[in-house]
Amino acid sequence: MKNRLSPVREIDAKAPTCRFWLRFAASRLLRVVLVLTLVSILAFALVSMAPLDPVDAYLGPNIFHISPEQRDLVVARWGLDQPPLMRYVTWVGHVFTGDLGVSPIFNQPVATVIATRFSASLALMTIAWTASGALGFCLGLVAGTWRRSWAAKIIRVYAYMLAAAPTFWIAIILLIVFGVVLGWTPICCAAPIGLTPDQISLGQRLSHIILPATALTFLGIAQITLYTCQETAEFMNSDVAIFARAQGASRWDILRRHAIRHAALPAITVQFAGIGELFGGSILAETVFTYPGLGQAAVAAGIRGDEPLLLGITLFSAAIVSIGNSIADALYHVIDPRITLAS
Partner 1 sequence: MTFSLANAGRRETLPGGIDLRGVRARTLALGLVSLGVICAIALGAAMTGDDGLGTHLLAKKLPPSWDFPFGTDPLGRDMAIRTLKGLALSLRVGVIASFASSLIALVLALAAATLGSTVDHMVGVLVDTFFAVPHLVLLILVSFALGGGTSGVIVAVAVSHWPRITRVLRAEILQVLSSDYVRVAHGFGRSPFKIAVEHLVPHLIPQVLVGFLLLFPHAILHEAGLTFLGFGIEPNRPAVGILLAESMRYLTAGYWWLAVFPGLSLLLMVLAFDGLAAGAKALVSPREAQD
Footprint on this chain of partner 1 (rule: CB under 8 A): 31, 34-36, 38-39, 42-43, 46-47, 49-52, 148, 160-161, 164-169, 172-173, 175-176, 179-181, 187, 276-277, 279-280, 283-284, 287-288, 298-299, 302-303, 305, 310, 313-314, 317-318, 321-322, 325
SS3 149: coil
Which residues are registered as beta bridge partners of 109? Answer: 102
Q: What residues does 108 pair with on adjacent strands?
A: 103
146 CB contacts (<8 Å, ≥6 apart)? 152, 251
Shortest Å, Cβ 31 to partner 1? 7
Q: How far is the CB of 301 from partner 1 (least distance, A)?
A: 8
When the beta carbons of 43 and 236 are compared against partner 1, the nearer one is: 43
Q: Which residues pair with 102 in a beta bridge?
A: 109
Q: In whole angstroms, how close is the CB of 133 to partner 1 at the nearest point?
A: 18
Nearer to partner 1, 7 or 166 (CB): 166
In angstroms, rounded to a whole number, what is the distance separating the alpha carbons of residues 146 and 233?
A: 8
Asked if 186 and 208 count as a contact pair (C-beta separation under 8 A), the reply is: yes
Is-contact 274 243, C-beta < 8 A? no
Least distance in angstroms from the C-beta of 179 to partner 1: 8
- CB-nearer residue toward partner 1: 6 or 287: 287
- By beta-carbon proximity to partner 1, the closer residue of 8 and 303 is 303
DSSP sequence for 64-107: GGS-HHHHHHHHHHTTTTS-HHHHHHHHHHHHHTT---EETTTT
User: Nearer to partner 1 by C-beta: 109 or 280?
Assistant: 280
Closest CB to partner 1 among residues 125, 259:
125
Q: How far is the CB of 164 from partner 1 (least distance, A)?
A: 4
List Cβ<8 Å contacts ≥24 apart for 76-81.
78/54, 80/54, 80/55
Least distance (Å) between residue 114 CB and partner 1: 13
